[in-house]
Structure 1
Amino acid sequence: MGYEDMKPPIGRDTRLCMSLSGRPGNAGSRFHNCLYEILGLDYVYKSFSTQDLAAAIGGIRALNVRGCAISMPFKEAVIPLIDDLESSARAIDSVNTIVNDDGRLTGYNTDYVAVRQLLEKRIEKPVPFLLRGSGGMAKAVAAALRDAGFANGTIIARNKMAGQAIADQYGFCWQADLPPDSAPLLINVTPLGMEGKDRDALAFRAEQIAACSTAFDVVAQPVDTPFVRAARAARKSVISGGEVIVLQAVEQFILYTGVSPGADDIYEAARYAHGADVAARIAD
């Protein structure tokens, strides 16, 4: 039986889920819609961008959109526009997921869940780190690092107010520019390497990558960033943004539908949306 024979046709009872991003892509839509097909769920998922965030959130209420993924640059700006925050989003002051329950909008942060899972699964013990970035995702990563036992780290951010705030909140150091030395764990949580004007930018210097043990790039569009390619060429352990985006999307999927997909279903959706390499790493 093909996927088209399992899922109900789109109609008036079909539930809509969506995403809002400054740079919308296709991966989220492909992932969620693939799982809807596999599991025969009467849902459809579509990505959007907007120049009017308040109107977009109003549309979620007015049209009874079931759920909405929130990406840069809206993760903090959306907070005053919704009704409540779940504990992870409240602690981080950053939302990446909205769930609509009969017009009441609650914000969650599934990025935190995904990052913590990856840290605990892929790194044997807490090590010193350099984290580059100071936005909403950087907060989620910093919180996950702290809660996974990583106590020795530095936030690298030219925005002193934002970078110092994250460092102070989670017990780390801050500095404006990359230090001359490296750390066992390097984490990029900036747009460097992302599709667009920063696509060819390297988040850390080549000598820092050569000296590290693990390279963690949260950028997912593309998954194969210059930082990831350089780390793989240097035979370092790599955690990619594709892995983060799959794990956090699974958490979103469960929140939206109430259905927990099986490991084989997740693998198939990840392979379809992100490629065999990301799917294989999630399955490990």
Structure 2
Amino acid sequence: MTPLTAKPPLGPNTKLCMSLAGRPGVFGSRFHNFLYEQLGLDFVYKAFTTTDLPAAINGVRALGVRGCAISMPFKETVIPLLDRLDGSAAAIASVNTIVNDEGCLTGFNTDYKAIVDLLHTNEIDPATPFLLRGSGGMAKAVAAALRNRGHKVGAIIARNEAAGRALARSYAFSYAADETNLSAPLIINATPLGMTGANADKLSFREEIVEKSKFVFDVVASPAETPLIQAAARRGRRLISGGEVAVLQALEQFVLYTAIRPDPNLVKGAADYARLG
């Protein structure tokens, strides 16, 4: 793909965007940098991790970093370090994006919009009962999206009883400590189970629950085919992958950072390039 405009060389006016994650990946860096290159934008994107979140956020502010993606495990703990929250983040007390406007840091949540869009485009009826595994920042985004689309019957499954019950209570869903004797047409994993690393071989729902399902949604983006996605594909279930979430939420981050919404063909090119990483 030929760039529309030549990208300026890196210099003192280049705007830095970044990500903070417990386990940094390459998807965001490749997605954003591809679009910067194609659109000739004087931006650069780099992934980071940290053991000192307050210091890292102070760095975002002090160095004029334009935007910062936030991933597990920082989506909730970052909130007190920000100046304000957009409604998308305030409603679910979870941040996945920071925008820096001349030292004022605002938290957003683009995961929520991505999930709403995917539930809509996959034509999942709001009457469909669900099981949602997880109680962290991504699970909050999923639960909020489900409730706001009209889902009323569902269970939050979480080992952390306090967090799980609190999330279930917030959206009037039920709570379960585990999946014993449970099943539903729609099952959603919003935990690190199946993610590249120590949990890569973990199936987030038992095989018999996958067997009874109709729709399977795994928010884990790496690897592209988690054990849950593989188990569902073998059974011919309808799938929504974490890769799809990653593209949509990254696109909204790009728009927040640059105020430019790329052509859909460019977005597809960026997604294809990012998946090669």
How high is the TM-score relative to the length of structure 2? 0.97
Instruction: Report runs of 4+ in structure 1 exceeding 4 Å deviation.
Output: none
Q: Does 1:85 align with 2:85?
A: yes
Q: CA RMSD in A?
A: 1.2
Report which stretch shifted further, 98-107 or 2-11: 2-11
Aligned pairs for 1:1-284 within 5 A? 2-3=2-3, 6-126=6-126, 127-274=128-275
Q: Secondary structure of the residue that 1:34 maps to in structure 2?
A: helix
Q: Secondary structure of the residue that 2:193 maps to in structure 1?
A: coil
Q: Secondary structure of the residue that 1:210 maps to in structure 2?
A: helix
Q: In the aligned structure 1, how far is the partner of 2:21 from the partner of 2:92?
A: 19
Question: By how many angstroms is 1:2 displaced?
Answer: 4.0
Q: In the aligned structure 1, how far is the partner of 2:137 from the partner of 2:182?
A: 26
Question: By how many angstroms is 1:236 displaced?
Answer: 0.5
Task: Give the count of matched residue pairs.
Answer: 275
Q: Secondary structure of the residue that 1:45 maps to in structure 2?
A: strand
1:188-214 CA distance string (max 9 Å, x none):
011100011110000111111111111
Question: By how many angstroms is 1:222 displaced?
Answer: 1.1
Question: By how many angstroms is 1:40 displaced?
Answer: 1.0
Report the AA paired with residue 94 of structure 1.
S
1:28-64 CA distance string (max 9 Å, x none):
0000000111111110000000000000000001110
Question: By how many angstroms is 1:26 displaced?
Answer: 0.5
Q: Secondary structure of the residue that 1:100 maps to in structure 2?
A: strand
Q: In the aligned structure 1, how far is the partner of 2:86 from the partner of 2:116?
A: 17
Q: In the aligned structure 1, how far is the partner of 2:58 from the partner of 2:198?
A: 31
Question: By how many angstroms is 1:123 displaced?
Answer: 2.8
Q: In the aligned structure 2, how far is the partner of 1:213 from the partner of 1:40?
A: 44
Q: In the aligned structure 2, how far is the partner of 1:73 from the partner of 1:181?
A: 28
Q: Secondary structure of the residue that 1:264 maps to in structure 2?
A: helix
Report the AA paired with residue 258 of structure 1.
A
Q: In the aligned structure 1, how far is the partner of 2:2 from the partner of 2:271?
A: 18
Report the AA paired with residue 274 of structure 1.
R
Question: By how many angstroms is 1:124 displaced?
Answer: 3.7
Q: Which runs of 5+ in 2 are unaligned?
A: none
The alpha-carbon distance between structure 1 residues 264 and 240, as it changes in their structure 2 partners (threshold 3 A), is: same
Q: 1 or 2, which has the higher helix percentage?
A: 1
Cα contact 2:5–2:38 (8 A) shared by 1: no
Q: Secondary structure of the residue that 1:92 maps to in structure 2?
A: coil
Q: Secondary structure of the residue that 2:107 maps to in structure 1?
A: strand
Report the AA paired with residue 195 of structure 2.
M
**Sequence identity, in percent?**
60
Q: In the aligned structure 1, how far is the partner of 2:75 from the partner of 2:24?
A: 14
How high is the TM-score relative to the length of structure 1? 0.95
Q: In the aligned structure 1, how far is the partner of 2:58 from the partner of 2:201?
A: 37
Question: By how many angstroms is 1:181 displaced?
Answer: 3.5
Report the AA paired with residue 166 of structure 2.
A
Q: Which position in structure 2 is the counterpart of 1:281?
A: none
Report the AA paired with residue 272 of structure 2.
R
Q: In the aligned structure 2, how far is the partner of 1:66 from the partner of 1:24?
A: 19
Cα contact 2:195–2:226 (8 A) shared by 1: yes
Q: Which runs of 5+ in 1 are unaligned?
A: 276-284
